Chains A and B, each alone.
Chain A
Amino acid sequence: MKKALPIILLIVMAVCLTSCDPETLGSFMGKMGQNFYGLKANMKDVNKATEKIDNSVTDNGDGTVSIDLDVAAKVIDDIGKIKASEGKTEEFQKQLAEPVSEDNGAAVQVALQSEIQNVIDDVLPNPATIEDPKAKDIVEKVSAALEEAKAGISENPTRAELVTVAVISNMANLAQEIAANPAMLDNVEDQVRVVDAGLSSLDTLKMVSEYAGLSLVDGIDFSALLEDLGKGAEISRADEDDAIKYVAMAADNVRTLIAMLTKDGVVNDIKYSSVLSQAKATRHSFELMAVPYIKGNRTDLADLDQILSNKNIKKGLSTDDFVLYFESLILTELDKDDLKAFVNTHYAKLIDLEHYAEDEQMASDLEDLFDDAKDIIKHKDDGKYTAWNSMGTLAVLLVKTNLKDTIFKIADVESFSAFIDEL
């Protein structure tokens, strides 16, 4: 009996535990996950980074401020340590969301806009004077990103905005260097520097930019998708109607994007410019990372096939990065006024996509909108593909994200040039 008693007690305990309310059990389990010592991550790196940003702003004492973008850009060096820690990332993003100046936001706005103009006027060369097509493309893109950034500075700029501008102006310095000496892209050491600059700019933007931190495909229900497409490895092109259903599953993220663009139900010009500058900066970071690998005469698509067999391209980016570049490509190539009109017209449906995903009028307007964007993939002008850098970046990303075989299998092609032609 003495030995039987503990066994009986154990059985009773086991029954109680298994029939315990999951909510209560989950709550108890969650409490055990709190750190008993109350220890939190060391925020030294975060505070150091924030201090750098604050040190780039000087109060002139006469109601104006001066901003040194080169100083703010030094925060790029700290991003690596911060992004490896979820706790630090969260704290850093919280500090980034705070305004640069509590009581003189207008002066900061003016100073930022002035600094951006200085970069456009004094740092970037006139694209018309640049012969090398790669260098010309880089300068044009950075210039466009800066113009949008200038138009998108809010009335009380946050640290995040300041850092985004600093990152773009940092890219402008590199663009100037490339424009002055395009041959540097053939030099291995400089290639590494350019690739690193692209990747570190991208890391920084993902940290500081609300746009770059958004993933439009997150939230799509795998299980329903797989059920509709059929189990197993054979994936065929999805039926368009079914596909829209899955687009609706990204409704939450679409709502977030729409909120970033609009105010009181209509597109706000300043907010739109801000998002566009972030998208352009993001796109340009990817293209900067890819530019040393894109070689060829910029007329023959087969040159892009060579990229996919380039062993120097190291893997290391994720599917999320491929999606982010694709999103940025589309967003930055869409006609600005057309996109504004689309969002304004269909605002109510876009923020309730779960119920309006199959709205025919919206689908038709979206089709018209994307007809513009598809040209950036296949644009030909006198036999030359003017979207060479974009196509090349897609090719590089297929290698870096290890998606080449999968995408080719789905598209039923055997080369990148065939993939582009198929579109």
Chain B
Amino acid sequence: MKKFIISALIILMVCTAVFAETQEKVVYDEGDYALNFAFQPTLSRYNAMGQSGLALQTRLDSFFSNPAVLGKNGFAMSIPSVSVTLYNLEKIVSDPESVELYKKITGGSASDSETVKFATKLLSNLGTGRNLVATIDVGAAMKLGIFGFGTNAQVKLHGLNNGTSIGSQSIIPEINVAQTVAFGLRLIDTSALSLSAGASVHAVYKTYMQGIDAATAANFIGGSDVTTTLLWNTPTMAGYAIPFDLGVNIGFLDDVITLSATANNINGIYYMKSYSALGDVVNKISKKAATPPEGYEALDSESFKIKTPWSLNFGFAFAPDVPVLNPVLTADLVDMFELCKSFGSWIKDKENSDFRASDLLLHLNLGAEIGVFDIVTLRGGINRGYLSLGAGLWLPFMQVEASYGWQEFGNQIGDKPVDSLTIKFSLGYDKK
């Protein structure tokens, strides 16, 4: 009996996903820890400025969140851009043992068990509820007159724990491939006043896998067979959506002051199917590209939908034309529809409503940017009360950007602030 209990305890901590489960659909969009599967490419400048900048009209990546900026004609291109975002860094940096392990790993002197130990610490740091481990974006974008085109590929590693210990932690890989087409029109164009409107359509193909338990994930880094587990042993959901964004900009004094309104992720409904493994998805896209192992049998798919929320956002930007410094101040009011609903519920039933006046601050993101020595841009911001900062380096036909900041991953402010560091490289031409 003792052996059983001890073995059982060990079993429970080492739940390797050796066999795939049934072809039931796997959804993570219900309950307290629903994951938001809406597609959004990583925008380093936006993150550094407290996730504000809807009304900024100058940069290439602005049209991904507000297509109306295309009304201001211009040319910009980045082929390619690559960004990597790592989350929960503060916990690693603050833990001396983690720092020591990291140094050994980067120095090449870490043993396999030390590497796995570091991976285990990364997973433990994810805590309860939802989190992110890392995001990698690769993309190309072009702004040509009033049109904008973008292609993005994104890999995201979600963490989800509906228990309390690492034994209940799972890692959910998500892959998005998106093609964006946008256009903007300048309807009024005077130095005193300008009015622009725009629309963008995103064709998004999304896949995500059934959660991989923490032990298996830690073992990947220790050298176990990643390919077989991910390609043939993990049920995968795949599908597409065609969401679109609408935007309106009003500019004053030669666009020194700009006000914006955007509705983002309209029609964000993903039409999904369940597959036995990622290999089946690959073979569906490109026949026989992946060879299944002997004895492998794919099961039938189940169709289902995932609805991702749309959002109504307002933006303000103040960008006076000051040479060299190019200062910018931005303020965005995000997710206004939810705020209005909450306010409406307070009007109807003050006693039972959760609305507080301070909730307005939770929807307010502020940002600032200033140029230094003509090739460096420094940025900072406040995102729902959490600070962020970043910098951009402008070299001939190349930009390097970095941002570090915190954001709320919990259901309420203060529940689960998570930090992230983004480094982005772009080759191409873009206006500062």
Contacts and interface: CB of A to CB of B under 8 A. Distances in A.
Contacts of A85: 410-412, 415
A232 B385 contact: no
A204 to B, nearest CB: 15
Nearest to B375: A6
Interface stretch (A20-28, A114-122, A379-387): A20-28
Given A86-B128, A405-B18, A35 B413 contact: yes
Q: What are the nearest 7 A-B pairs in CB distance?
A: A318-B163, A320-B163, A26-B94, A374-B1, A223-B117, A318-B168, A6-B373
Looking at chain B's contact residues, is the secondary structure mostly helix, strand, loop, or mixed? mixed
Given A30-B90, A35-B413, A41-B412, A319 B7 contact: no
Looking at chain A's contact residues, is the secondary structure mostly helix, strand, loop, or mixed? helix
Contacts of B224: 231-233
Given A36-B382, A247-B9, A319 B165 contact: yes
A388 interface: no
A240 B6 contact: yes
A336 interface: no
Nearest to B103: A22
Contacts of B166: 218, 222
B292 interface: no
A37 B361 contact: yes
Contact of B1 (A318, A370, A406): A370
Contacts of B374: 3, 6
Interface string A350-386: 0000000000000100110011011000000000000
Given A227-B112, A318-B162, A330 B129 contact: no
Given A3-B375, A6-B376, A409-B18, A29 B12 contact: no
Interface of B: 1-19, 21, 31-32, 89-90, 93-94, 96, 99, 112-114, 116-117, 119-120, 128-129, 161-168, 214-215, 218-219, 222-225, 229, 354, 356, 358, 361-362, 372-376, 382, 384-389, 393, 404-406, 410-417, 419
Interface stretch (A67-75, A277-285, A321-329): A321-329
Contact of B16 (A38, A87, A218, A235): A235
B13 A217 contact: yes
A224 B360 CA distance: 48
A221 B72 CA distance: 57
Nearest to A227: B113
B15 A403 contact: yes
A423 interface: yes
A233 B226 CA distance: 11
Contacts of A411: 11
A319 B354 contact: no
Contacts of B5: 330, 370
B6 A39 contact: no
Nearest to B362: A39
8 contacts: A27-B94, A32-B388, A45-B354, A226-B113, A238-B6, A318-B168, A367-B2, A410-B7
Contacts of B3: 237, 240, 243
Nearest to A403: B15
A225 B413 contact: no
Contacts of B31: 316
Contacts of A26: 90, 93-94
B410 A87 contact: yes
A247 B6 contact: yes
A217 B5 CA distance: 12
A370 B373 CA distance: 73
Given A85-B415, A226-B113, A231 B163 contact: no
Given A6-B373, A22-B96, A319 B163 contact: yes
Given A29-B90, A232-B219, A405-B21, A225 B167 contact: no
Contacts of B222: 223, 226, 231
A134 B426 CA distance: 67
Contact of B413 (A41, A224, A321): A41
Contact of A321 (B10, B116, B163, B229): B163
A370 B163 CA distance: 27
Given A22-B99, A405-B18, A42 B412 contact: yes
Contacts of A27: 94
A6 B372 contact: yes
A402 interface: yes
A405 B384 CA distance: 43
Nearest to A374: B1
A33 interface: yes
Which among B16, B32, B375 has the greatest number of chain A C-beta atoms within 10 A?
B16
Contacts of B168: 318-320
A363 B112 CA distance: 32
B415 A33 contact: no
A227 B215 CA distance: 12
A406 B94 contact: no
B164 A320 contact: yes
A348 to B, nearest CB: 21
A5 interface: yes
A231 B229 CA distance: 14
B354 A44 contact: yes
Given A32-B406, A233-B16, A243-B6, 14 more contacts: A3-B375, A9-B373, A29-B94, A35-B385, A39-B385, A217-B9, A222-B117, A227-B113, A231-B112, A247-B9, A319-B168, A366-B2, A405-B19, A423-B4
